[in-house]
A and B are shown apart, each in its own frame.
Chain A
Amino acid sequence: GNSVTQMEGPVTLSEEAFLTINCTYTATGYPSLFWYVQYPGEGLQLLLKATKADDKGSNKGFEATYRKETTSFHLEKGSVQVSDSAVYFCAPMFSGGYNKLIFGAGTRLAVHP
């Protein structure tokens, strides 16, 4: 069946460090792929997306590339800031699923000065 596996947290980094949060999925088709971010006390915000193989989504310095061969959509940022501290969710949208998102468990990122 369709599912998503996300890197467990928490991830603790110093400011300006490089960030990678891994996300892999299993699917019978080719889903659209999303990353959402949730800041403390807030709802989820769409961070970036990719809709087909080799597409790269990017926003606010974050990037993720749709890798069909490895069924992955890892989130990266070259230099994190304290303000990036949040929970990050990987969420495929599987075809035929009435645009339902399947959310990963979330990865908490803490960035220290």
Chain B
Amino acid sequence: DAGVIQSPRHEVTEMGQEVTLRCKPISGHDYLFWYRQTMMRGLELLIYFNNNVPIDDSGMPEDRFSAKMPNASFSTLKIQPSEPRDSAVYFCASSFWRARSYEQYFGPGTRLTVT
């Protein structure tokens, strides 16, 4: 399997612009997670889905952030409008049940820079 695929790998945008990050989970995985990683705050869980349905979005920082999962093989995280403090690495992860627990597998991340 190709693993979790994220695009783009790098995104540089100006403040106020809309940003869309994309994720393709591993086939057969039934959970999908979006995380944000910064030096100051570490790794933060933003939102996660089970069978394409959002379960918990309490980590989404503000209404400027939204996430969708229209089908089992695709999810997006959108920031509109973007701000410099949104600069971070955004990870997507998917999980499935294996050997008595769920296991999460991470994508390579999207490094977002908002100027």
Contact = CB atoms under 8 A, between A and B. Distances in A.
Q: Do A and B bind each other?
A: yes
B103 to A, nearest CB: 6
A112 interface: no
B55 A49 contact: no
Interface in B87-101: 91, 93, 95, 99-101
Contacts of A100: 33, 45, 48, 56
A32 B91 contact: no
Interface residues of A, number: 20
A96 to B, nearest CB: 12
Contacts of B106: 36, 43-45
Interface in B51-94: 55-56, 91, 93
A43 B104 CA distance: 12
Main SS of chain B's interface residues? strand
Interface in A33-64: 34, 36, 42-46, 49, 51-52
A89 B45 CA distance: 14
Contacts of B55: 98
A102 B16 CA distance: 32
Q: Choose among A42, A99, A101, A106 the residue with the greatest number of B CB atoms under 10 Å from its CB.
A: A99
B91 A99 contact: no
A7 to B, nearest CB: 14
Interface of B: 4, 31, 33, 42-43, 45, 48, 50, 55-56, 91, 93, 95, 99-109
26 contacts: A32-B100, A32-B101, A32-B102, A36-B106, A42-B108, A42-B109, A43-B4, A43-B91, A43-B106, A43-B107, A43-B108, A43-B109, A44-B43, A45-B106, A49-B101, A49-B103, A51-B100, A51-B101, A89-B43, A93-B101, A98-B50, A99-B31, A99-B101, A100-B45, A103-B42, A106-B42
